A and B are shown apart, each in its own frame.
Chain A
Amino acid sequence: MLLQGNEAVAEGALRAGCRFFAGYPITPATEISEVLSVRLPKTDGTFIQMEDEIASLGAVIGASLTGVKSMTATSGPGFSLMQENLGLAIIAEVPCVIVNVMRGGPSTGLPTFPAQGDVMQARWGTHGDHPIIVLSASTVRECYDMTIQAFNLSEKFRTPVVLLIDEVVGHMREKMALDDEEKIEIINRVRPTMPPEWYIPYEDTPSGVSPMANFGEGYRYHVTGLTHDVRGFPTSRPDEIGPFISRLHRKISSHFSEIQIAEFFKTEDAEITIVAYGCVARSAKRAVIEAREKGLKVGLLKLSTLWPFMRTAVEKALQTSKILIVPEMNMGQISREVKRVNRGVARVITLNKVDGTIITPMEILNRIQEVVS
C-alpha cells in the first residue's frame, strides 16, 4: 500500500496495541493525530485533542497507568513542552511513546521544513539525571516498525520511548508491504501475579524492571514524581535514593543489546563509513552506491537507535574504516557521540546543514571525494 510516514506511524501504533492517543495539532506531525482520531474509535480506543502538549503527555501517562498502551505525537515546540511530564514518566516508570516529527528550530523555526535538531533534546531535555530510549526511522516501513519497537521497548522496560522522525520522512509517501505482519512480535508489560498485599510496585528484580499493576485492579499503590522507595512512597533516605536512581539507569544499560538497532550497508570492506539516521540515511545510501560505482570503498552505518548511543556499532565500523563521515541536519549532535567513541582512532568528518533542506546524495558524494583526494 502507498502510505505516508506519519500514517505509517499511526498504523504501527495500532498494530502495537495502542488504544489511547492524546495530542495537540502541530505541523508536521498532525496527520498522526488525524489518522488516529478516525481509527481509534473503531477499535474501542480513545482519541482526545488536549489543550496543549503538556496536557497531552499528562493524559497519555494517566491512560497508561490503567494498563492501556498510549501515545502522543508532536514536533519541536510541543516536544519542548512535554519535557516536564517526560521526566515524570521516567521516574514513575510509566510506559508510553512520544513521536517527534522534527522540524527546523529553535523556537517556531521552520514548521514545514525538516531538521534533526532535537537529538540532544531527546536525550537530555528533561531535567535530572535520567536514562532514555530514542529511536529514529528513515523509510515509511521503518516508521511502522520503529513505532512498534518503541511500544515494545517502552512496555518491556517500563519507560517512555521517543521516536524521532523528520518532516521529510513524516510527509514522504512510499510503497509499504505488510506481507510479514504475522511475524511481528508484540510485547506487553509484565503484570504482577502475586496477591495485592505482597505487591511491591518498585521492587528491584534481576532485570531492574518491576511488574506493573493497572489502576483499578486491586493493587492499590502510590505513583509519584518524587523520588520514592520500593513501595512508591516519597523518600529522602540516601540509602533508598541511590539504589533507585541506579536501578533506573541499570534497567536500560544492562539491556543495550536488546535496544540497539542498526543497519550496516556495504561496510565489510569499507574504508570510509558514513554514519547517518533519518532522512539523511536515505541520501547516504544513494551516495554509497554511487561511490562504489566509482570504485570507492564506502559503507553506511544507519542508526535506528539514537539513544542509548550505539558505541559497539561505531566500534565495528572503526575496525575497517579510517574515516567516518557524519552528515546531519543540525550543527553536529550525533557526530559528537561518534567522536567520543572514536577517541582519535579515525578521522571523523562532519557534514552539517541547517538551511531547511535535506542533505542530498550529491553533497555526501562530494564530501567523500573531497576526503579521498
Chain B
Amino acid sequence: MSEITKLIHKYLRHDKKFPNVWCPGCGIGIMLGALIRAIDRIGYEKDEIVLVSGIGCSGRLPVYVDFNTLHTTHGRAITFATGIKLAKPRLKVIVIMGDGDAVAIGGNHFIHAARRNIDMTALILNNNIYGMTGGQNSPTTPYGMRSTTTVYSNIEQSFNISELAVTAGAAFVGRGTVYHARLLDSLMEKAFLKQGFSVVEIISHCHTQYGRQNRLGTAVEMMEQQRDQAVTAEKAARMKPEELKDKMVIGVLVDKKLPVYQDEYEKIQERAKEVMGR
C-alpha cells in the first residue's frame, strides 16, 4: 500500500462520505492533505482530535475525516471550539474556516479567541470569495475585483487575515498557499504543536467563481499566480516596502510565547478552592 493510500485508509471516512462536494481543482483538498499529513507526523490519536468548522465550502471538510467532527453555524465555529477545549482540555481542537466565515460573520469571535489565547488552531482557507453561495464579494475580495454582488467593481478595502490575527494577539501566525504544499504541511505541524492560539492562513483559489468572474484562468493558472506572488518571510525581511507592494509573504509570521488561557484558568481554579465559603 502506498503512503498516501495508507493515510486515506487511516484518516478519511472513505467508505462513508465520498465523493466530496468540492469542485474539481479546488484547493481545499490540498489543505485537507496537509492537515492529515501534519496530524500523522505528530502522531495524535484520532480520538483526541476535534475538528470544528463553520459554513461554506470549507465547512464541509470535517465530514470526510475520521475524528470527532462538528459542523456548526456560520462564523461561530471558534465559539464551539472554545467550549470543547475548556471543558475537555486534553483534546486537540482544530477549527476550519473560510474567509467569509472567519473575518466577516465570525470576525468578532476570531479576534477574541486570539486575544484570549485559547489553545487551538484556526485554519483559514482564503479564496477571496463566497464560493458555495455562488461567488459573492467577501471581506478578502481585493479592491477593484468582480463578484456576483460587485459586478461593476469591488469598492471596499480588503482584510489581511494574517495581519488581523497578529494584531489581535495570536501566539502563532503562519501563511501558506495551496501551491506551496510542503510549506503548508510544516506550517500546520508547527501550529498544532504551538501552545496557544495559532492561525494558519491558507491562500487558495476559487477558479469556479472568483477566477471565472475575474478572468484569472484555470485552477492551475491561479496556483501559478500564487507562486509568482509569494515571497518567503526570510526573503521579505531583506526587501524594501515598495518591493513588497504586490507580494504576499508566506511562512511563519509570528511565533511568540504568551500565557495560555487554560493554564491561567487552572490557576484560578486553585485560587478559588483556597477561598473559604460557598
Interface of B is mostly: helix
A42 to B271, CA, bound (A): 8
In the bound complex, CA of A129 to CA of B11 (Å): 35
Contact (Cβ within 8 A) A58 B91: no
Q: Which residues of A contact B72 (CB under 8 A)?
A: 58, 61, 85, 88, 225
Smallest CB gap from B88: residue in A: A66
- A216 engages B90 (CB within 8 Å): yes
- Inter-subunit contact A51/B63 (CB<8 Å): no
**Cβ-defined contact, A55 with B63, below 8 A:** no
Neighbouring B residues of A56 by C-beta, 8 Å: 79
Asked whether, in the complex, the Cβ of A215 is within 8 Å of the Cβ of B272, the reply is no
Q: Which of B52, B68, B88, B90 contacts A220 (CB 8 A)?
A: B68
Q: Cβ of B69 < 8 Å from any Cβ of A?
A: yes
A79 at the interface (CB under 8 A from B): no
In the bound complex, do residue A51 and residue B109 qualify as a contact, i.e. CB atoms below 8 Å apart? yes
Within 8 A of A (CB), among B54-101: 62-63, 66-73, 76, 79-88, 90-91
B108/A85 in contact, CB under 8 A: no
Q: Find B86's partner among A48, A51, A214, A220 (CB 8 Å cutoff).
A: A48
User: How far, in angstroms, from A20 to B46 measured CA to CA in the complex?
Assistant: 25
B263 CB within 8 Å of chain A: no
Contact of A54 with B79 in the complex, beta carbons under 8 Å: yes
Confirm or deny: B278 has a beta carbon within 8 angstroms of a beta carbon on chain A: yes
Residues of B within 8 A of A216 (CB): 47-48, 50, 68, 88, 90-91
> With a CB–CB cut-off of 8 A, which chain B residues contact A231?
16
Given contacts A55-B109, A62-B79, contact A222 B87 (CB under 8 A): no
How far in angstroms is the closest Cβ of chain B from A244?
16
Complex interface: chain A residues within 8 A of B112 (CB): 50-51, 55
Residue A218 at the chain B interface, CB threshold 8 Å = yes
Q: Are A226 and B71 in contact (CB under 8 A)?
A: yes
A11 to chain B, nearest CB (A): 9
In this complex, what residue of B is CB-closest to A226? B71
Within 8 A of A (CB), among B264-278: 265, 268-269, 271-273, 275, 278
Residue in B48, B71, B73 whose CB lies within 8 Å of A58: B73
Residue B256 interfacial (CB < 8 Å)? no
B2 to chain A, nearest CB (A): 24
The listed residue (A41, A84, A217) touching B47 by CB distance below 8 A is A217
Which B residues are CB-close (under 8 A) to A222? 62-63, 69-71
Give the complex CA separation of A57 and B68 in angstroms: 20
Tell me whether chain A's interface is mostly helix, strand or loop, or mixed: mixed
B18 smallest CB distance to A (angstroms): 11
B14 at the interface (CB under 8 A from A): no
- For residue A171, give the distance in angstroms from its CB to the closest CB of chain B: 20
Judged by a CB distance under 8 angstroms, whether A233 is at the interface is: yes
Whether B73 pairs with A85 at a CB distance below 8 angstroms is yes
Q: Does A133 contact B (CB under 8 A)?
A: no
In the bound complex, do residue B82 and residue A58 qualify as a contact, i.e. CB atoms below 8 Å apart? yes
Chain A CB within 8 A of B9 CB: no
Complex interface residues of chain A between 6 and 42 (CB less than 8 A to chain B) = 19-20, 22, 38-39, 41-42
Kindly list chain A residues whose C-beta atoms are within 8 Å of the C-beta of B50.
215-216
Among residues of B, the one whose C-beta sits closest to the C-beta of A41 is B272
Assess the B82–A48 pair: CB atoms within 8 A. yes
- A233 CA / B69 CA spacing, docked (Å): 11
Chain B residues positioned under 8 Å from A68 (CB to CB): 87-88
Does A124 have its Cβ within 8 Å of any Cβ on chain B?
no
| CA–CA, A46 and B47, complex, Å | 22
Question: Does A63 sit at the interface, judged by CB under 8 A?
Answer: yes
A224 in complex: contacting residue of B46, B48, B63, B108, CB < 8 Å: B63
Neighbouring B residues of A20 by C-beta, 8 Å: 83, 86-87
Interface residue? B17 (CB, 8 A): yes
- Which residues of the partner chain A approach B108 to less than 8 Å between Cβ atoms? 51-52, 55
A39, A41, A62, A223: the one within 8 Å of B87 (CB): A62
CA distance A19 to B278 in the complex (A): 15
Tell me which residues across on chain A come within 8 A of B86, comparing CB atoms. Answer: 20, 46, 48, 59, 63
A64 to B70 Cα, complex, angstroms: 12
Contacting pair A59 B80 (CB below 8 A): yes
62-105 of chain A: CB within 8 A of chain B: 62-68, 70, 84-85, 88
Given contacts A68-B87, A223-B69, A225-B73, whether A59 and B62 have CB atoms under 8 Å apart is: no
Interface string of A143-155 (1 = CB under 8 A from B): 0000000000000
State the Cβ distance, A8 to closest chain B Cβ, in Å: 13
Across the interface, do B76 and A223 meet the contact criterion of CB distance under 8 Å?
no
Residues of B within 8 A of A19 (CB): 87
Give, as a whole number of angstroms, the nearest-CB distance from A101 to chain B. 21
Contact indicator B83/A60 (Cβ below 8 Å): yes
Q: Name the B residues within 8 Å of A63 (CB-CB).
A: 83-84, 86-87
Q: Does A308 contact B (CB under 8 A)?
A: no
Check if A223 sits within 8 Å of B71, measured CB to CB.
yes
A44 part of interface (Cβ distance < 8 Å): yes
A42 and B76 contacting across the interface, CB-CB below 8 Å: no
12 of the cross-chain contacts (CB-CB < 8 Å) are: A20-B87, A42-B272, A55-B76, A62-B85, A63-B83, A63-B86, A65-B84, A88-B72, A215-B88, A216-B68, A221-B69, A222-B63
Closest 4 CB pairs of A and B: A62-B83, A58-B79, A59-B83, A41-B272
Q: Given A54-B109, A58-B109, A67-B87, list of 7 further CB < 8 A pairs? A: A20-B86, A20-B87, A48-B86, A55-B79, A70-B83, A84-B76, A220-B68
